[in-house]
């Protein structure tokens, strides 16, 4: 199989993880990068790869099939649309955008150019979560009346006051709900579809006092589904102990998903445990992107799906600001 040629825009930060994952794939090859940080560029020129400061120069100078784009949120529309218009398929880091209009512009560009656009969300590619999706689809849980997801972790930069663009609402669009919360809201969309109402609180107390940010640092988001089921997502990224835990309660069974393990707990009968080996979720995500390109199909994380997640995020922020439930 001829390897797909990748450009990476922003190969520092989270992009470094994508570079490492890409290098494990035999049917992908990295052909060029761009980054504003000269130290990041140097890492690639040392390997003999072309490295530019600007994505326009990268797109114009290096022949490629696709671009993996990992940037501060406010930069996505320009970098993604320019890539699509150059004929590149694009895998971009989550969230889709810092706001719905930016997301819609990128989705429209993908539609107009006919290129694959995929919004990353690697937790969907963890085997225990894939198993959860399969069990739901086969009806093993029955009707899901309650879905609970907690994502809690300690992001070091917060208490060290290294918020940079993340801490500025205008540049990031927020943090707890849109950034850390992207993973659970992405999964909830995948498992349960679009809620009809969203209610959220973010609280006024700072979780990292004495540091400089104007974004949400914790949140509780409740989701009401058209079938009468409900969901609750709890998010904080500046505290410990960490947790990444999904619990679904259905009329036939509950399902507990944590780490590499999914446990099905039927209303009657013995629990069934599915345990998986650790896998590289970023590599799995990249494989899905490449398969979508080769098979001329939409990937998991396509604009249609990511736009719905963005609508929920937008509704959650609106609710947190107004103190009201927002109907979708």
Ligand X SMILES: NC(=O)c1ccc[n+]([C@@H]2O[C@H](COP(=O)([O-])OP(=O)(O)OC[C@H]3O[C@@H](n4cnc5c(N)ncnc54)[C@H](O)[C@@H]3O)[C@@H](O)[C@H]2O)c1
Binding site for ligand X (CB under 6 A): 9-10, 12-15, 34-37, 40, 70-73, 75, 93-94, 120, 122, 179
Q: What radius of gyration do the chain's Cα atoms show?
A: 20
Select 79 or 136, whichever has its Cβ closest to ligand X.
Answer: 79
Q: How far is the CB of 305 from ligand X (least distance, A)?
A: 16
Q: How far is the CB of 284 from ligand X (least distance, A)?
A: 13
Sequence-ordered list of residues with C-beta below 8 angstroms from that of 205, at least 6 positions apart, any chain:
none
Count Cα atoms within 13 angstroms, Cβ side, for 310.
Answer: 23
> Contact, 29 vs 1, CB < 8 A?
no
Pairing of strands 218-224, 230-236: antiparallel
As given in the structure block, the two tokens for residue 205 are 């107390």
Select 89 or 98, whichever has its Cβ closest to ligand X.
Answer: 98
Q: How far is the CB of 224 from ligand X (least distance, A)?
A: 27
Select 149 or 225, whichever has its Cβ closest to ligand X.
Answer: 149
Select 127 or 250, whichever has its Cβ closest to ligand X.
Answer: 127
Alpha-carbon distances of 266 from 56, 74, 141, 147, 262, rounded to whole Å: 54, 45, 8, 16, 13
Select 12 or 266, whichever has its Cβ closest to ligand X.
Answer: 12
> Contact, 67 vs 73, CB < 8 A?
no
Q: How far is the CB of 58 from ligand X (least distance, A)?
A: 9
Sequence-ordered list of residues with C-beta below 8 angstroms from that of 16, at least 6 positions apart, any chain:
none
Select 9 or 188, whichever has its Cβ closest to ligand X.
Answer: 9
Q: How far is the CB of 292 from ligand X (least distance, A)?
A: 18
Pairing of strands 253-258, 238-250: antiparallel
Q: How far is the CB of 110 from ligand X (least distance, A)?
A: 17
């Amino acid at each position: 199989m001829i390897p797909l040629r990748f450009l990476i825009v922003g190969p520092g930060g989270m992009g470094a993880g994508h570079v490492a994952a890409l290098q494990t794939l035999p049917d992908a090859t990295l052909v060029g990068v761009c980054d504003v940080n000269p130290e990041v560029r140097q890492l690639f020129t040392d390997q003999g790869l072309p490295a530019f400061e600007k994505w326009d120069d990268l797109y114009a100078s290096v022949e490629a099939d696709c671009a993996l784009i990992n940037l501060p949120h406010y930069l996505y529309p320009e970098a993604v649309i320019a890539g699509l218009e150059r004929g590149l398929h694009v895998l971009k880091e989550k969230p889709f955008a810092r706001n719905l209009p930016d997301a819609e512009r990128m989705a429209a560009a993908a539609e107009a150019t006919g290129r694959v656009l995929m919004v990353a969300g690697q937790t969907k590619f963890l085997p225990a979560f894939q198993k959860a999706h399969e069990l739901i689809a086969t009806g093993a849980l029955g009707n899901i009346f309650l879905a609970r997801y907690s994502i809690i972790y300690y992001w070091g930069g917060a208490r060290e006051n290294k918020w940079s663009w993340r801490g500025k609402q205008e540049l990031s669009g927020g943090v707890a709900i849109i950034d850390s919360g992207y993973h659970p809201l992405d999964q909830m969309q995948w498992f349960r579809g679009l809620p009809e109402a969203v209610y959220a609180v973010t609280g006024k107390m700072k979780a990292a006092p004495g540091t400089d940010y104007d974004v949400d640092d914790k949140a509780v988001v409740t989701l009401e589904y058209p079938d009468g089921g409900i969901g609750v997502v709890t998010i904080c990224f500046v505290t410990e102990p960490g947790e990444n835990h999904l619990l679904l309660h259905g009329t036939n069974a509950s399902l507990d998903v944590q780490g590499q393990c999914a446990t099905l707990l039927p209303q009657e009968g013995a629990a069934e445990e599915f345990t998986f080996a650790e896998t590289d979720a970023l590599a799995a995500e990249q494989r899905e992107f490449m398969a979508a390109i080769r098979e001329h199909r939409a990937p998991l994380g396509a604009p249609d799906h990511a736009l719905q997640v963005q609508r929920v995020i937008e509704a959650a922020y609106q609710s947190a600001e107004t103190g009201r439930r927002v109907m979708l």
